Structure 1
Amino acid sequence: MKRSTLIILAFLCSFPYFGFAQDSSPEVIKSKTYRFLGESWQYQKFSDRSKTFETEIESQNWNDTTIIRKSSKYDDNIVTDLGINLWNPSDQTPAVKPWGSWNVELKYLGQYKASKNFHLNTSIGVSWFNYKLEDRDLLAIRTPEGIAWEEFTDGIGTKSKISASYANLTFVPTLVSNNEKLSLGFGAYAGLRLGGRGKLVYDDADGKSFKEFEKVNMYAQNYRYGLRAEIGVGDVNLYVNYDLNNFFIEDKGPEVQAISFGISFR
């Protein structure tokens, strides 16, 4: 009996202690609210040195979420120019046959959309200039004095041409219509020569075909620079290039400028 009474008394004496322990929560000594990621975050520091961050996230209906995509101001593409080469003035050189005097350029095009109606087009690429002579028996020869044009007599000529290749950098500011179906651009370019040669294809008396090459630069300039115009209608893009410097090195060939025009494929 005495033992039971002692246990009960001990339990009753300890009851106020448990009630006091539950009410002794640490005191907030510092509190501050922050805005982060569109939400309010509350920082609290307590007397027992503990810290908390709390926020309330509103419930959202993800089925009704609208995703807004902002279009990039920069675009890029691989572009191929295919056109025809001519010389100006044409009376300073042997006549050139347009069909076969191909101008081909493969380039990487970067387009910066400064505004809806104004774009800046910059490209870097490699181009090949071919000039096919109208007189197929006329042979272009490199001499110490300069380029010479001689009549070929050892067979029947079927093709005669000279060619040169350049690495180019082009910059064309362009105006664009609201629906982007019409564009008009004017700019400039500069190039550094990579190679060049002359070529003659002929048939002998037995009808066998042969080729002769001048595997050296035919005195084409080591650099080129000029103006470029572009016009786009729908998916069709046309271009015109006009070199401002002579095609041939000074005193080594005729004083003529290269003109190229054609279509760009994107």
Structure 2
Amino acid sequence: MKTTTLILIPLLFLTSLGFAQEADSARQDSVKTTNFTLFNTDVIVYKNADGTNTWEFVSKGDQYYEYQSKSKKSSNGLTLDIGINTWIGDDAAPVVKPWGSWNPAINYHYTYKPSKNFNLKSAIGVSWYNFKFEDRNLQALRSNGSLVFEEHPSGTGTKSKISASYANLTLIPTVQTSNGNFSFGVGPYAGYRLGGRGKFVYRDTSGNRAKEFQMGNMFAENFRYGIRAEITVADLTFYMNYDLNNTFQENKGPKLNTLSFGFVL
């Protein structure tokens, strides 16, 4: 009997030590901790690097047990793009001013995660092109079935831009590190134009602010397609879109390709 007792005591000690080491490991691997109290029980939630959660329940008697959630295979939600547009190609085209050439977008995404280091992101959303000209007195006009750029006769222009909106579909395969602190993805997108217009702001002869609009499409392509890249470092995601199609319809505007870049919120 004494021999059996002597054997059981070390076994119990080693077992409890193993559980303690497992709990300590969960704490060390966690990247975020949340604490709250429920029914006189302290609840500690460790967010692990692999995306799972470890729950620790501590009662008044300092006894605790753990529950670890399974990795989620998918996620979804809304994201916002905040960036700027520019165009490249024809040196004779008006110079675009970065500040004011905004590229906002709102997207609903569904992300499938078959493994820790790979996911497939699909998104549907709406984006806006804004091209603000460096020459504030240069006005974009619809003339004889094409787009022309002319100096405004007032000579007092303060803002000149054209815009277009698109509904888009995007698919981005993405690889990421095991701790989730870095990821890189690149994939195709396609969109269909919803609307567009031109806007010119100037000072009239009385010095008052006046506006002129070119309503309707400014001959932007009806269908756009290209490549999107996303890079995430920690909690910051940077995106870049490059249109493979021409910005304007064939023979109705300068031959240009649009480049957009910014941040995902």
Which range, TM-score by smaller chain?
0.7 to 0.9
Q: Over alpha carbons, which structure has the higher Rg?
A: 1
1:179-211 Cα offsets, whole Å, 9 max, x none, are: 101000111100000000000011113220011
> Match of 1:13?
none
- CA separation in 2, counterparts of 1:64 and 1:179? 27
1:112-167 Cα offsets, whole Å, 9 max, x none, are: 11110001011100000000001111110012231011110135100000000000
Moved over 2 A (4+): 63-69
Q: Residues 87 and 64 from structure 1, CA distance in 2 versus in 1: closer, same or farther, beyond 3 angstroms?
A: closer
Partner letter of residue 216 of structure 2?
A: V
> Match of 2:182?
182
Mapping for residues 199-238 of structure 1, pairs under 5 Å: 199-238=199-238
Equivalent pairs, count: 203
> Match of 1:49?
none
Q: Residues 139 and 64 from structure 1, CA distance in 2 versus in 1: closer, same or farther, beyond 3 angstroms?
A: closer
> Match of 2:164?
164
2:84 is the counterpart of 1:84: yes
2:80 is the counterpart of 1:70: no
> What TM-score, normalized by structure 1, do the two folds share?
0.73
Contact persistence 1:92–1:255 (CA under 8 A): no
> Match of 1:120?
120
What SS is found at the alignment partner of 2:91?
helix
CA deviation after TM superposition for structure 1 residue 72, in Å? 2.0
Partner letter of residue 76 of structure 2?
A: D
Contact persistence 1:168–1:191 (CA under 8 A): yes
- CA separation in 2, counterparts of 1:98 and 1:192? 24
- CA separation in 2, counterparts of 1:250 and 1:119? 38
**RMSD of aligned Cα (Å):** 1.5
- CA separation in 2, counterparts of 1:172 and 1:159? 36
CA deviation after TM superposition for structure 1 residue 262, in Å? 0.6
CA deviation after TM superposition for structure 1 residue 68, in Å? 4.7
- CA separation in 2, counterparts of 1:185 and 1:194? 27
Where does structure 1 lack aligned partners over 5 or more consecutive residues? Answer: 1-62
> Match of 2:251?
251
> What TM-score, normalized by structure 2, do the two folds share?
0.74
- CA separation in 1, counterparts of 2:219 and 2:66? 63
CA deviation after TM superposition for structure 1 residue 65, in Å? 7.6
- CA separation in 2, counterparts of 1:258 and 1:155? 29
Partner letter of residue 240 of structure 2?
A: V
